[in-house]
Amino acid sequence: MKTIHFDITDTIRFSEKNHRVTGIQRVQLRLIADIVALAGSSNIDGIAFFDRERGWQSFDLSFLRSETEFNATRFLINTGKLKPSRFPPRTQIRQYLEPFNHQKKTRALKKALIYLQALFCPERLRQNTGLWSYRSDTPAGSRSTPLPPLRQSDVLAILGGSWEIPEIEELALRHHAAGGRVAVMVYDLIPHTHPDFQTEHVRKPFNAWLEKTPRYVTDYICISEHTARDMRSFLANHASTARVIAVPLAHEFPGYARDHEPRPGTLQQLRHKIPGPFVLCVGSIEVRKNGLALLQAWEKVCQVLGLQAPTLVFAGKIAWKSEAFVAHLHKTRYLQGKAFVFESPSDEELAALYNQCLFTAYPSLAEGWGLPVGESAWFGKFAVVSTASSIPEVCGPLVDYVDPQDIDDIAAKLLRPLQDAHYLATRTQAIGQARLRTWQEVAAQIHGILADGAGHG
């Protein structure tokens, strides 16, 4: 019987430097967890290239079924990459202290405090920093073992970002040469189709990887019809017999019901930061997400509504090519207090933000799917979103659309639900009654493709 080997090298490397996962890593783990829950772990395993000394390792993935919210330290221990310790991983500590690298005394004090709290009050450390430690008596979960040669009947499934990890390509080439199947999940081709939206250090390795994939990929699993069209267009100039299959992602916000209500403590902390009504924009803060245009449109909203204008809240990590966005915030003093950045919220905080907002905005210039649009619907919230790329596939007629290049259009579409309470209530009610797609449904479809070759090209 075939075994499906899920490569998660990228998530392990990401987890060594970050205590939370976002984007591709988040989607990948959600799908694998649901596939394991659906099919069991007897013919499914996780694999990763640990390092030059240990090479490729294999491990049981059943621990993912009980993960309610991702924790990097626990994840690394369960995969066998990290041994339990009373201190958080050094790479995560360095990443946490990075903003203080030019303040040597402050950095030294914060570092000392991390180690002291890890020793004497680890719960406070978790609350204050998000860093975790696991003592030696903590169950280590599954242990990794060296990966044996893959059989011809096995499937190598690469659901993450592999373009900067040459060892994955080498394994895929060997497996394909031996007659095995290699399935790759494609989230978008933005570095290829929209090179200006990415930095050189992302664009160059991604495009080099993309050019090589026709040599070994048998199945491209694309997260939207738009991405599938981009993939087919690329392959038209390459000798490839690979299938291109579109599997739309979910609306569900994993771990939270559609009628979720925030815990009182979480709600209190949120309202301390954002006391009044607000409109929410979720996603990493980078040029592609078009945050500067949204800020400029919100200035027009504030000109119309004056003091009655809600706060515009950005929830996400400040990322590449965000300098113009940050400069505009500082220049306008955060739109005179009408803009707020909630950086890197936890799942619980993000769920509370969705629950409490008036509606959401998502004027992105290019996407492979558009998770925040679906998540907004999951929590019953109307959205004003871009017409670009795949975004209209997420919620169809349930949301309103803007030209992301037109500041006046964005402002006008934002003003309508703010000025017309009946319109907002009607649109919100329609979303609450809509049937939405769960991650279990997506996982079942992907498992069918990997296990049986089912799917439509």
Amino acid found at 327: A
Does pLDDT of 134 surpass 70?
no
pLDDT of residue 68: 65
Helix axes 347-356, 371-378, angle to 10 degrees: 60
pLDDT tens sequence across 69-100: 677 778 888 898 887 777 877 777 887 888 88
Question: Which of 70-79, 176-185, 363-372 is predicted least confidently?
Answer: 70-79
pLDDT digits (tens, 9 = 90+) for 379-400: 999 999 999 999 999 999 999 9
Q: What pLDDT digit, counting tens, does each position of 221-238 carry?
A: 999 999 999 999 999 999
- The average pLDDT across 33-62 equals 94
pLDDT tens per residue across span 308-365: 999 999 999 898 889 999 999 999 999 999 999 999 898 999 999 999 999 999 999 9
pLDDT for the residue numbered 54: 94
State the pTM of this model: 0.87
Task: Tell me the C-alpha distance between 189 and 195, whole Å.
Answer: 9
CA-based radius of gyration for the chain = 23
Which of 132, 158, 136 lies closest to 69 in space, CA to CA? Answer: 132
**442: confidence class by pLDDT, cuts 50, 70, 90:** very high
Phi, psi of 174 (to 5 degrees): -65, -45
Tell how far CA 395 is from the center of its chain: 18
Instruction: Classify burial at 153, counting beta carbons within 10 Å of its beta carbon; exposed 0-12, middle 13-18, buried 19 or more.
Output: exposed
Percent of the chain whose predicted confidence (pLDDT) is above 70: 96
Q: What angle do CA 312, 19, 17 make, to 5 degrees?
A: 110
Q: Does residue 136 carry a pLDDT above 70?
A: no
- What pLDDT score does 141 carry? 45
Q: Locate tokens 């997400």: which residue?
A: 289
Q: In this structure, are residues 54 and 3 in contact, taking their beta carbons and an 8 Å threshold?
A: no
Residue ranges of E strands in 150-305: 155-158, 181-186, 219-222, 243-246, 278-282
- Alpha carbons within 13 angstroms on the beta-carbon side of residue 46 total 30
Edge-first strand order for the sheet with 278-282 is 339-342, 311-315, 278-282, 360-362, 383-386, 400-402
In contact, 250 and 442? CB cutoff 8 Å: yes
Using CA atoms, how far apart are residues 370 and 385, in angstroms rounded to an integer? 10
CA distance 318 to 100: 16
Q: Does residue 268 carry a pLDDT above 90?
A: yes
pLDDT confidence bin for 455, thresholds 50/70/90? very low
Query: Would you state the pLDDT for residue 15?
Result: 87
Query: What integer pLDDT is reported at residue 229 of this predicted model?
Result: 98
Q: What is the mean pLDDT of residues 241-267?
A: 96
What is the spatial distance between Cα 302 and Cα 311, in angstroms, rounded to a whole number? 9
* Mean pLDDT within 260-275: 95
CA distance 327 to 288: 16
Q: Establish how many alpha carbons lie within 13 A of residue 454's alpha carbon, considering only the half-sphere containing its beta carbon.
A: 8
Compute the average pLDDT of residues 161-185: 96
Asked whether residue 457 carries a pLDDT value surpassing 50, the answer given is no
What is the DSSP secondary-structure string of 50-61? Answer: --TTT-EEEE--
Reply yes or no on whether the pLDDT at 249 is more than 60.
yes
Return the residue matching tokens 């990948």. 28
Q: Is the pLDDT of residue 271 over 70?
A: yes
